[in-house]
A and B are shown apart, each in its own frame.
Chain A
Amino acid sequence: MSNLPDEVYALARRSVVRTSRMPAQWIAPLIFPTMLLAVNSGGLKAVTHLPGFPTTSYVAFALAVPFIQGALFATMNAGTELARDIQTGFLNRLALTPLRSAALLAGHLGGVVALGFVQACFYLAVGLVVGVRPAAGVAGVVVLLVFAALIALAFGALGTWAALRTGSGESVQSLFPVFFVFLFLSSMAIPRNLIQQTWFRDVATANPVSYLLECVRSLIITGWNGEALGLGFGIVFAMGVAALALSAHALPRRLAR
């Protein structure tokens, strides 16, 4: 009988246990995006008066941002954790077992997705507490959580690939500012159609992060929007497949067995 499910579960469990024993690993992804949400919601509330702004609640508009920020933390966590395993030789220990490469990736990312899911529930709960009511209803919340888990998976796979390529936690962490630039050059603070600067609007339109935000935002603000959902899920799916393929390609070289 295949041991694959047991392998995946054991490694995912290890990932979750490790994270739970390092409070900084899970408190920061919960607190910092929430703080940024509070600051932005207070400071940019007047933006809702712009003609064409899709909602009267800036909190509802900005609630999408923590979901993406949380994914960035997932990238860092996934990458640095794996890089640590490489640097300490723990990956060698795993390589000496009959463990399948697929199980290693799935188990490692399983823990990342679990954390991403918890983060998404927390952000959603914060939104509900401050009065945000997702326009897509309960089913929309379910889709939102699935989307959040997929984002964590895709970004986590990117971090995993970076760790496998470089073998260095520091190198993985150096990606963090790069991803943040993508976030700030997106429709994070204002809808794309209301961005006055042409270059900024063009960059935000070309930036895939905008579509991830708009997918989340659509479920919260406008309800079921096929185009936004299609683009969001399509991009996260493509990112995830690409990152997983790159990780799967890099893993055998790192395991070298």
Chain B
Amino acid sequence: MERPNTIEVEKLVREFKKGPRAVDGIDLRVEPGEIYGFLGPNGAGKSTTVLMLTTLLPPTAGTARVAGYDVVHEGPSVRATIGAALQEAALDGLLTGREHLRLQATLQALPRPERRSRADELLERVGLMEAADRKVKGYSGGMKRRLDLALALVHRPRVLFLDEPTTGLDPQSRSALWTEVGRLAREDGVTVFLTTQYLEEADVLADRVGIIDHGHIVAEGTPAELKAQVGRPTVEALPPDPRIADVLAHFGDPVPSAKGVAVRLAGNADLAAIVRALDAEQLQVENLQLHQPSLDDVFLAKTGRSLEGAGDEEEAPAGLAMQPAA
């Protein structure tokens, strides 16, 4: 019987010689067909976790099972089940896109007659058919990322690891990649483990999000759940008129605002009711905005820092030659 496409991690640790604990006892579980967003700044431990889950780096302690297989003791079975696009799109600039796919299809032991058709199918799917016979060194960053994704999909993996797949991409390429990843999970039932440092990416794409900082998971849940933990939305109005502040105060508790006046909405208060109240008082409002709590607010609440610009530490080195500390 086929094992479920789950990812189960218990107390996973990775230490490097003369370095900190890059991953410090994390627990997580990803359900079949789920997109799990692993969010954190540079150096938080995201890539190290991916390297362990893809069997490329042995854990120092703890256990991890991917699709029911232990990453330490059943490495070949794990690798047969997963696809991975790691942080750097490791492509050979002198080969063409089609040559990459054929090589990958051979190494993934696809039957010979299927190799050509699978390569064409994936080139079509990621929109690289026209560039298929061009050397990869002439590809844009977005094209390389799409080829990387296609390579990860050659053998129809049940679990897909994407390590910062949209870093450095333009908005159009990013959106195209999101669409494809979403389709993989929805239509093909692929479980996706996606690391990112982009709040929007985690918010839009992930069914559930784990926020990692300094090797610890500091929050986990659906984006809506996490935002709900932070609190209700805020409404901010310009200009900073005391009469506007008085009206807003009927709808929630005042919160600091750099440019105007703001309140955190209470109960069932909504924007339409505020607009009606301001209109009834005949107050001139230049700007009225509803701010939903963001994942950055969640990160700020959990770590005391903003995720934007929090990644000033070095990512744990991902080289394969490094040895466990003990």
Contact = CB atoms under 8 A, between A and B. Distances in A.
Interface string A81-94: 00000001111111
B57 A7 contact: no
A6 B105 CA distance: 10
B107 A7 contact: yes
Given A10-B107, A14-B103, A253-B321, A96 B94 contact: no
Interface in B54-84: 54-58, 75-76, 79-80, 82, 84
B272 to A, nearest CB: 52
Interface residues of A, number: 29
Contacts of A99: 107
A94 to B, nearest CB: 7
B52 to A, nearest CB: 11
B99 interface: yes
Nearest to A19: B94
Contact of B57 (A10, A96, A256): A256
A17 B136 CA distance: 14
A256 B58 contact: yes
Nearest to B93: A88
B326 interface: no
Interface string A18-49: 10011000000000000000000000000000
A96 B56 contact: yes
A254 to B, nearest CB: 6
B258 interface: no
Contacts of A167: 319, 321
A interface majority secondary structure: helix
B315 to A, nearest CB: 14
Contacts of A92: 56, 86, 90, 320
A3 B80 CA distance: 14
A93 to B, nearest CB: 5
A256 B14 CA distance: 14
Nearest to B103: A10
B277 to A, nearest CB: 58
Interface in B91-139: 91-92, 94-95, 99, 102-104, 106-109, 112, 135
Most buried by B among A10, A21, A88, A257: A257
B92 A14 contact: yes
A98 B94 contact: no
B320 A255 contact: yes
A97 interface: yes
A21 B94 contact: yes
Interface in A66-88: 88
A90 to B, nearest CB: 5
Given A254-B320, A254-B321, A98 B90 contact: no
Contacts of B82: 96
Given A14-B103, A92-B320, A257-B75, A98 B80 contact: yes
A97 B80 CA distance: 7
B105 to A, nearest CB: 9
A95 interface: yes
Contacts of B108: 97-98
B91 to A, nearest CB: 7
Most buried by A among B54, B76, B90: B90
Contact of B79 (A18, A98, A253): A98
A217 to B, nearest CB: 37
A9 B106 CA distance: 10
A167 B317 CA distance: 15
A17 B93 CA distance: 12
Nearest to B154: A97
Contacts of A14: 92, 95, 99, 103
B88 interface: yes
B209 interface: no
B177 interface: no
B321 A96 contact: no
Contacts of A95: 56, 320
A46 to B, nearest CB: 46
Contact of B106 (A7, A17, A91): A7
B12 interface: no
Interface of B: 54-58, 75-76, 79-80, 82, 84, 86, 88, 90-92, 94-95, 99, 102-104, 106-109, 112, 135, 151, 319-321
Given A10-B102, A88-B92, A89-B86, 13 more contacts: A7-B107, A14-B95, A14-B103, A17-B94, A17-B95, A22-B94, A90-B91, A92-B90, A96-B82, A254-B320, A256-B56, A256-B57, A256-B58
